[in-house]
Copies of this chain bind each other. A is one copy, B any other.
Amino acid sequence: MAGAAWDAFERRMRELVDLGGIAGVIGWDQQVMMPPKGAELRAHQSTALASLLHERVVDPAFGEAIEQAEAEPDSLDDARRASLREARRDRDRAVRVPADLVRELAMAEAEGFEIWQKARPAKDFAMFRPVLERLVALKQQEADAIGHEGERYDALLDAYEPGMRLVRLEPLLHELRDGLVPLVAEIADRPRPDVSFLARDFPAHMQIEFSERVMRDLGFDLEAGRQDESAHPFTSGAGPYDVRLTTRIVPGDPRGSLMGTIHETGHGLYEQGIVGKKIERSFAGMAPSLGLHESQSRLWENQVGRSRAFWEHYYPAYREAFPDALVDIELERWLRAINIVEPSLIRVEADELTYNLHILIRFELEVALLRGNLAVADLPAAWNDAYRAALGVEVPHDGDGVLQDVHWSGGAFGYFPTYTLGNLYSAQLMEAARRDVGDLDEQFRRGDFAPLLGWMRKHIHSQGSLQPAEETARAATGKPLEPANLLAYLRAKYGELYDLA
């Protein structure tokens, strides 16, 4: 197991991992702690660190270190092989894109973000269109530089969901869509639950207090992490022993802070679980894909945090925390309120069920853009048509339509499907956990989340990137990725809540 070549590679890898941890901390700091006038300076600093990391990855000496370590297979166990696999993937992607294109992309992405920040409130797609056209063209060039087998989208998707390909993803998502659209339509015909009580007074400090209690109960270790407030909730940090979550108070809706916290806690539990001497401070000690990461946030938020059993445990205490607001609200009404299905315009406000339709619309459109089957000029109309067809809603203006998300403005094409992959994974993982650890609902009713967390720790978290995401999930569940579990779960849950036949 010794190996001078491995040691030389490991030194370089550790530097990248350690400096990457620093990038995590300063990214968190920027959104949570930084005073406003510090923004320009911080942009320079983050750029300096990102450039440096890129320089280290494309350094020919790093390429040689990878090759030489690969050439001593006797010195490699599965964790080392996984780190080398990830190193080669990252480096290949990085060196294939010419420096000029890297620069052009960085400039277009910075400009895209800046213009988008103005175009969205101005509801002005024409303002955004030129830079989006440039971005699409540059991403096509980038995809060609990275290489693909006919689908440019694959080269971009691979950055977020390594190993996933359109030829597999597209039928999977179409099958999901075909199951979801009629279910959403059925529910749209049912009476809408009255959720007007959500506008009552839920004091902010009690919301934070309750969300921290739940975070702790679910198993988040506050000695190895923290929670703060930020405008947009996220999870970041310096590594598995320093995981930073954020939440926010949504005025007029107490569900926002609690569900946001549970969602980020799911990410945080994953990060805190990617430990063990074999994988720490290595590329193997990272999640293998955004989709698998998102499976953890979605699982704890939706499958746990919006379940009847969860609230049978927590609702009495929740009601006690907000006695005035919830005086006349029984558990059943609360359950319907946190699981209300409403076809709507805005992805980030969407419910568990329709959320996937928002994603599928974006996925179809970005695939068409990358394939050259859709011109940027035709994007708003295509967007509006898709919302009408899938969700039955009319888009009043582009600010609440095609301009609503930040992703494309920063060049993040291929990112959206990872959200829905997270939902697919979460349904399959939950089914497998139910099979392995007994009656989860009964455990939740007792406030016992340790068996579920233990199962995730063993089958997902501690696996890091030892295998690609789908292999990890397949080993845990015994099945390939498929929409059946998610559809069955959604149909059962919402069938009951909405009295469907």
Given contacts A29-B29, A223-B37, A226-B33, contact A242 B42 (CB under 8 A): yes
Residues of B within 8 A of A144 (CB): none
Residues of B within 8 A of A226 (CB): 33, 35
Interface residues of chain A, those whose CB is within 8 Å of chain B, are 14-15, 18-19, 21-22, 25-26, 29, 33-38, 40-42, 44-45, 47-49, 51-52, 221-226, 238-242, 281
Partner of A48 from B19, B34, B225 at Cβ < 8 Å: B19
Partner of A242 from B18, B25, B37, B51 at Cβ < 8 Å: B37
Residue among A19, A45, A52 with max Cβ neighbours from chain B (10 Å): A45
> What would 14 A/B residue contacts be, using CB atoms closer than 8 Å?
A18-B49, A19-B52, A22-B26, A22-B49, A25-B25, A29-B33, A33-B33, A33-B226, A37-B224, A37-B241, A38-B239, A38-B241, A41-B239, A41-B281
Residues of B within 8 A of A48 (CB): 14-15, 18-19, 22
**Nearest 6 A/B pairs, CB to CB:** A38-B242, A18-B48, A37-B224, A37-B241, A18-B45, A41-B239
Residue among A35, A40, A239 with max Cβ neighbours from chain B (10 Å): A35
Structural contact, A49 and B19, CB atoms closer than 8 A: yes
Secondary structure type dominating chain A contacts? helix
Q: What is the minimal beta-carbon distance from A484 to any residue of chain B, in angstroms?
A: 40
Residues of B within 8 A of A45 (CB): 18-19, 21-22, 25, 238
Partner of A223 from B29, B35, B47, B49 at Cβ < 8 Å: B35
Residues of B within 8 A of A223 (CB): 35-37
Q: What is the minimal beta-carbon distance from A298 to any residue of chain B, in angstroms?
A: 25
Residue of B nearest to A34 (CB): B242
Structural contact, B238 and A40, CB atoms closer than 8 A: no
CA distance A25 to B31 in the complex (A): 13
Residues of B within 8 A of A33 (CB): 29, 33, 226
Residue of B nearest to A239 (CB): B41
CA distance A40 to B18 in the complex (A): 11
Residues of B within 8 A of A281 (CB): 41, 44
Residue of B nearest to A41 (CB): B239
Partner of A41 from B49, B51, B238 at Cβ < 8 Å: B238
Residues of B within 8 A of A224 (CB): 35-38
CA distance A25 to B41 in the complex (A): 12
